[in-house]
C-alpha cells in the first residue's frame, strides 16, 4: 500500500502543476540502443578482472566475496528469455542531485518490463528506511507523478551510515519481510561505500540479496574511466552558471561591486571549474591548485588583491571571483589545522569541560590548548566567526562541515584590510565594495536537464539489468556520453575497484576514492590558458536558463568538462 501521507502530498502536487511541470512529465527519456529491446533481450559481456585503486591487500581482505570482479557491458540479443517476478528496494542517500527521480523511474520501468508482477519498494528517509522498515510500494500512478522532476521528495533522503552488524541484520529482516532480493542505493562516494559494505555482508551471509549502486553527486567527484560523470553535475553546473552569468551582467552594468561567489563542492573543485568555463569570471580559485602550489591564505589574498588593484587602475572597480566551497581545507596551514581539529574534536565531544563551557571564547581556549602549537597559532589568528564555524556540528564522518564556513566572507575581509594598507601607502586608488553569494542548494533540486533526465533514466534501467544478470557489489555505468543517447554504452563496474583506505573518525576505513581536479588535464588547462585574459578583460558569458525544448544542439549539450575530457580520450592523449 502506498503510504497515505505521501499519497496525499503527491495528489496535492498534481493539482498545482506549472505549465513546465506538465510538459516535463510528458518527456520520454532516451535510452542506449542496447537497452531499448528490454531487459529480457540483453546479453552480458564480461571485461577483465579488476582491483582497487589503492591499498589492494587491505581492500581484498575486507571484501573477499566481492573483490576483483570484472567490468561488464550489455548488448542486445536476438532472443528473449523469461524472467521471474522480483521484489526490489531502492534508497536515495546523501544530498539531493537533479535526476534522482528518473533513476527510480528507469529502475521501475525495467523491472516491470522484465516481469509485470515484479514490485519496487522505496525506503523512506534514506538508508535509515531499510533499517527501520519504513517504505512505500510504488505503482504506475505514483511513479508517473515524479518523472523528469527535480528533488528527492518521492521518498526523501538521509545520511545514515550502513556499516554495523546490527544495521545489516535489521536490513536483512526488512528485506526478508518484503521478499526483496535486490537493493539499489542511489548516492555519492560515501553512499556507494555503504553499498559495497552491504553487498559484501549480504554475500558473505548467503542471503541471496544483491546490492547495486548508482553514481550521484553534483560535486562531480565520483568518476573514473568507467564512470564518466556523476548524475546531477550537468544540471547543477548549468543552474549555477545561469546565476553567475546574471551576476556578471549586473556587475558589468552597475560597475561598482566585486561579487565573491562560493560554489558547492566540498572536496573537489569540479563544479567551480565547470561554472567558470561556462561564464569566464575574472578570478577562479581551484582548491587542488592551491594545495599543489602550497599557497598560504596570505598568498591567495595577495593574488586576488593584485587583480583587484590592476583592474582599479583601469577604472574597473568591479569583477567576479569564484571560490570553491572546500577551498579552506586545501590551504596547507588550514588543512593541517583542520585535520588536527577533526582528531581532537572526536575527543572533545565527550569532554565535560568543553561540552559544558558557557562561552565560545572558553571553547576557543580549550581547543587552542589541545591543538599542536603551529595549528593553535593558525586557529587563534582567524576571525571569531570563522573559529566558531570550525567548531560547528561535524558531518557523519566526524569532519568539519565546510559549507558552514563562510570562506568568501573571510576573503572579502582580508582583501579589504590589505587594500586599506595599500591605499594608506598610495598604492591603490580604487573603491572596493563587495557582495558575497553562496550557490549550493539552488542547484541540487532543479528540474534535470535533458542530459540528466536521459542519463539518470538509463542508469536506473541499467541497474535492473545488472540485477537480472545476478550481479552484486556493482555500480551502474553508462559511458560514451558525448555521443547521442542511442550510442551510450550500458554496463557495470565493481564498487571495490574504486576503493582505498582513508582515515575517518580517527580510524582507517575503506571508502571510494574521490576524483579531484587533475591539474595536468584538459579541463583545468582550459582555465589556466585563459585566466590572465579573463582577469583583466571582461569576457563574461551569459549561459541563460537550462533549455528543455528546441534543437538538440541547445537542449542536449553536455558540460564543458565532459566534452574536454572525452575529446582527450578520443584523441588518445
Cβ neighbours of residue 483 closer than 8 Å, sequence gap 6 or more: none
**Pick from 36, 41, 44: nearest CA to 109:** 36
- Catalytic, 219? Answer yes
Q: 39, exposed or middle or buried, with CB in 10 Å at 0-12, 13-18, 19+?
A: buried
Residue 210, φ and ψ in degrees, nearest 5: -90, 155
Per-residue CA distances from 444 to 231, 232, 264, 307, 562 (Å): 11, 7, 10, 32, 19
DSSP 217-286: -TT--S--SS----BTHHHHHHHHHHHHHHHHHHHHHH---EEEEEE--SS--HHHHHHHHHH--SEE--
- Please state, in angstroms and rounded to a whole number, the distance separating the CA atoms of residues 341 and 331: 15
CB atoms closer than 10 angstroms to residue 149: 24
Q: Which residues lie across from 263 on neighbouring strands?
A: 324, 439
Q: 190, 219, 234, 454: which one is catalytic?
A: 219
Asked if 50 and 93 touch (Cβ cutoff 8 Å), the reply is: no
Residue 363, φ and ψ in degrees, nearest 5: -65, -40
Pairing state of beta strands 70-76 and 489-494?
antiparallel
Could you tell me how far CA 417 lies from the centroid of its own chain?
35
Q: Which residues lie across from 92 on neighbouring strands?
A: 186
- Please state, in angstroms and rounded to a whole number, the distance separating the CA atoms of residues 397 and 400: 9
Q: Let me know how long the chain is.
A: 573
Q: Which residues are catalytic?
A: 219
Amino acid at each position: 500500500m502506498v503510504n497515505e501521507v505521501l499519497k496525499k502530498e503527491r495528489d496535492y502536487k498534481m493539482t498545482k502543476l506549472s505549465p513546465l511541470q506538465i510538459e516535463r512529465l510528458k518527456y520520454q527519456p532516451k535510452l542506449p540502443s542496447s537497452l531499448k529491446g528490454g531487459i529480457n533481450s540483453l546479453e552480458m559481456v564480461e571485461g577483465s578482472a579488476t582491483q582497487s585503486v589503492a591499498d589492494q591487500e587491505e581492500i581484498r581482505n575486507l571484501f573477499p566475496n566481492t573483490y576483483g570482479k570484472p567490468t561488464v557491458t550489455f548488448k542486445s540479443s536476438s532472443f528473449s528469455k523469461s524472467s521471474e517476478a522480483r521484489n526490489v528496494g531502492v534508497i536515495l542517500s546523501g544530498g539531493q542531485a537533479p535526476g534522482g527521480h528518473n533513476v527510480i523511474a528507469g529502475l521501475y520501468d525495467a523491472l516491470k518490463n522484465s516481469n509485470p508482477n515484479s514490485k519496487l519498494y522505496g525506503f523512506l528517509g534514506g538508508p535509515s528506511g531499510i533499517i527501520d522498515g519504513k517504505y512505500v510500494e510504488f505503482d504506475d500512478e505514483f511513479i508517473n507523478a515524479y518523472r523528469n522532476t527535480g528533488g528527492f521528495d518521492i521518498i526523501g533522503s538521509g545520511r545514515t551510515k550502513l556499516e554495523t552488524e546490527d544495521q545489516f541484520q535489521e536490513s536483512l529482516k526488512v528485506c526478508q519481510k518484503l521478499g526483496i532480493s535486490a537493493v539499489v542505493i542511489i548516492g555519492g562516494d560515501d553512499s556507494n561505500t555503504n553499498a559495497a559494505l552491504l553487498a559484501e555482508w549480504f554475500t558473505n551471509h548467503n542471503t541471496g540479496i544483491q546490492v547495486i549502486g548508482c553514481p550521484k553527486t553534483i560535486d562531480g567527484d565520483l568518476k573514473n574511466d568507467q564512470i564518466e560523470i556523476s548524475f546531477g553535475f550537468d544540471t547543477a553546473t548549468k543552474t549555477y552558471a545561469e546565476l553567475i552569468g546574471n551576476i556578471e551582467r549586473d556587475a558589468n552594468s552597475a560597475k561598482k561591486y566585486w561579487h565573491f561567489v562560493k560554489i558547492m563542492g566540498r572536496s573537489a573543485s569540479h563544479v567551480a571549474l565547470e561554472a567558470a568555463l561556462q561564464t569566464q569570471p575574472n578570478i577562479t580559485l581551484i582548491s587542488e591548485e592551491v594545495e599543489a602550489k602550497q599557497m598560504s591564505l596570505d598568498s591567495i589574498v595577495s593574488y586576488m588583491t593584485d587583480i583587484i588593484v590592476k583592474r582599479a587602475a583601469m577604472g574597473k572597480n568591479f569583477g567576479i571571483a569564484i571560490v570553491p566551497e572546500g577551498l579552506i581545507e586545501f590551504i596547507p596551514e588550514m588543512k593541517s589545522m583542520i585535520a588536527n581539529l577533526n582528531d581532537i574534536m572526536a575527543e572533545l565531544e565527550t569532554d565535560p569541560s568543553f561540552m559544558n563551557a558557557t562561552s565560545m571564547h572558553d571553547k576557543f581556549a580549550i581547543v587552542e590548548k589541545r591543538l599542536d602549537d603551529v595549528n593553535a597559532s593558525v586557529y587563534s589568528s582567524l576571525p571569531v566567526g570563522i573559529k566558531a564555524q570550525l567548531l560547528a556540528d561535524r558531518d557523519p564522518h566526524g569532519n568539519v562541515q565546510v559549507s558552514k564556513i563562510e570562506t568568501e566572507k573571510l576573503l572579502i575581509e582580508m582583501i579589504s584590510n590589505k587594500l586599506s594598507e595599500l591605499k594608506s601607502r598610495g598604492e591603490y586608488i580604487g573603491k572596493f565594495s563587495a557582495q558575497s553569494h553562496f550557490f549550493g542548494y539552488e542547484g541540487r533540486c532543479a528540474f534535470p536537464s535533458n542530459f540528466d533526465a536521459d542519463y539518470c533514466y538509463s542508469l536506473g534501467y541499467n541497474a535492473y539489468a545488472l540485477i537480472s544478470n545476478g550481479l552484486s557489489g556493482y555500480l551502474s555505468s553508462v559511458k560514451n556520453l558525448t555521443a547521442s543517447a542511442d550510442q551510450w554504452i550500458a554496463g557495470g563496474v565493481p564498487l571495490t575497484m574504486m576503493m582505498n583506505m582513508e582515515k575517518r573518525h580517527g580510524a582507517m576505513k575503506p571508502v571510494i576514492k574521490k576524483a579531484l581536479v587533475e591539474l595536468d588535464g584538459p579541463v583545468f588547462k582550459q582555465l589556466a590558458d585563459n585566466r590572465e585574459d579573463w582577469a583583466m578583460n571582461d569576457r563574461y558569458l551569459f549561459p541563460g536558463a537550462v533549455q528543455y525544448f528546441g534543437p538538440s544542439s541547445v537542449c542536449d549539450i553536455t558540460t564543458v568538462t565532459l566534452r574536454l575530457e572525452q575529446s582527450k580520450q578520443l584523441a588518445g592523449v
